[in-house]
């Protein structure tokens, strides 16, 4: 792991075979890749959860990545009490633990409060502190461990740019890579934590970036865009009987993006569960998103493209989301 103190790096710009790309990830998950903390797993998760937020050059900013990183670690450390490095005799903590515990004390946050419930200005401050400290080691370390083929990065300009070959590869195998990452991360956490906190560890890792309160999106879609019919069955919805649904399931996308959220009646939401809607609804969503892009000037739609939505739908099918759902009765 020599790359940890690099200021910038450029990915190998040559054709890569599938075997070479697998071997870049196999290395991260092998015992040759040394981990005194869980940072590499956390940073890889931050990239995977942001995979569909890239700009047209496949770039992600450090703000995008380290906001997710801060959220994941806040929930693992403060909500679930999971240590991120082995216990030492002087009880030394990792930087991420130091930053988050000190933020909780400065801002007087009660025990067990999830990241999404923190006030917006405090979230921005915490994410900034995490970025300033963690960008120094984490970005270069994963760059090096993926054999300098996954992404380029600049610490000064604060971005990573994913190798297009690797981007396609990771989109195709996202679910498998994510599961491998959780497996190795869980193994690491089991070693450094007491048995009492490692129960349901895989769920804790997977849910560490999940927001449970989507009411802000409900308000945007219901009030601002005045949608008052269920996106799927067309039944009228009321502000008491309305749910925000991830069109492509959250378990695949792992993020809340306006372009992927629709209002649904509770019946459709319950019956759809973790399935992809029929292609007819994909076309309908593309039309809905066209209207949002044209008529409302929203920052969170800046990187949205119809073709990308169709690609993500395709990749979800490739990744095992091949059971297609339709509402039983359409009004």
What are the residues binding Zn ion (CB under 5 A)? 230, 232-233, 265, 268
The pair of structure tokens assigned to 32 is 């040759």
Q: What is the DSSP letter of 81?
A: -
- Which residue number, 79 or 218, has a Cβ lying nearer to Zn ion? 218
Residue 238 burial class via C-beta count within 10 angstroms: exposed 0-12, middle 13-18, buried 19 and up: exposed
Q: CB-wise, 271 or 303, nearer to Zn ion?
A: 271
- Residue 207 or 243: the one with the smaller Cβ distance to Zn ion is 243
Distance CA 217, CA 243 (A): 10
Q: Which C-beta is closer to Zn ion: that of 109 or that of 230?
A: 230
* Class of residue 240 by CB neighbours under 10 A (exposed 0-12, middle 13-18, buried 19+): exposed
| HSE-CB of 205 using CA atoms within 13 angstroms | 26
CA distance 204 to 186: 10
Task: Return the number of the residue (166 or 233) whose C-beta is nearest Zn ion.
Answer: 233
Q: Which residue lies nearer to Zn ion by CB, 35 or 269?
A: 269
Shortest Cβ 266–Zn ion spacing (Å): 8
Instruction: Name the phi and psi angles at 246, rounded to 5.
Output: -80, 110
Least distance from Zn ion to the Cβ atom of residue 269, Å = 8
**Other Cβ atoms closer than 10 A to 215:** 9
Q: How far apart are CA 20 and CA 50, in angstroms?
A: 23
- The packing angle between helices 306-318 and 279-295, to 10°, is 150
Cβ proximity to Zn ion: between 114 and 234 the closer is 234
Shortest Cβ distance from residue 234 to Zn ion (Å)? 7
Taking the complex as a whole, how short is the minimal distance between the CB of residue 301 and Zn ion, in angstroms?
A: 24
Residue 243, beta-bridge partner list: 264
In the complex, least distance from residue 268 CB atom to Zn ion, rounded to whole angstroms:
3
Closest by Cα among 278, 222, 268, 226 to 245: 268
The least distance separating Zn ion from the CB of residue 304, rounded to whole angstroms, comes to 24
CB of 135 to Zn ion, least distance (A): 44
Per-residue tokens: 22? 């697998």
């Amino acid at each position: 792991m020599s790359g940890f103190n690099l200021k910038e790096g450029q990915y190998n710009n040559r054709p890569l075979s599938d075997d070479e790309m697998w071997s870049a990830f196999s290395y991260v998950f092998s015992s040759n890749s040394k981990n005194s903390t869980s940072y590499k797993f956390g940073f890889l998760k931050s990239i995977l959860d942001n995979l569909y937020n890239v700009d047209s050059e496949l770039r992600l900013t450090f703000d995008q990545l380290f906001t997710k990183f801060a959220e994941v670690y806040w929930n693992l450390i403060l909500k679930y009490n999971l240590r991120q490095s082995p216990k030492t005799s002087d009880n030394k903590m990792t930087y991420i633990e130091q930053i988050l515990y000190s933020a909780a004390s400065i801002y007087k946050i009660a025990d067990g409060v999830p990241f999404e419930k923190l006030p917006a200005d405090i979230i921005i401050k915490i994410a900034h502190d995490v970025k300033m400290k963690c960008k120094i080691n984490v970005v270069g370390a994963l760059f090096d461990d993926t054999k300098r083929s996954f992404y380029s990065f600049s610490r000064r300009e604060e971005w990573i740019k994913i190798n297009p070959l690797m981007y396609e590869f990771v989109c195709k195998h996202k679910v498998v890579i994510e599961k491998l990452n959780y497996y190795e991360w869980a193994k690491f956490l089991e070693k450094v934590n007491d048995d009492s906190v490692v129960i349901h560890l895989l769920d804790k890792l997977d849910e560490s970036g999940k927001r449970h309160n989507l009411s802000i999106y409900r308000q945007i879609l219901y009030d601002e865009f005045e949608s008052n019919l269920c996106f799927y069955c067309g039944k009228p919805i009321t502000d008491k009987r309305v749910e925000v649904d991830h069109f492509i399931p959250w378990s695949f996308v792992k993020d809340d993006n306006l372009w992927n959220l629709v209002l649904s009646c509770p019946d459709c939401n319950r019956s759809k569960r973790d399935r992809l809607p029929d292609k007819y609804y994909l076309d309908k969503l593309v039309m809905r998103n066209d209207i949002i892009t044209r008529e409302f000037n929203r920052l969170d739609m800046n990187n949205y493209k119809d073709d990308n939505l169709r690609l993500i739908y395709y990749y979800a099918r490739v990744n095992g989301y091949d059971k297609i759902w339709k509402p039983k009765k359409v009004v």
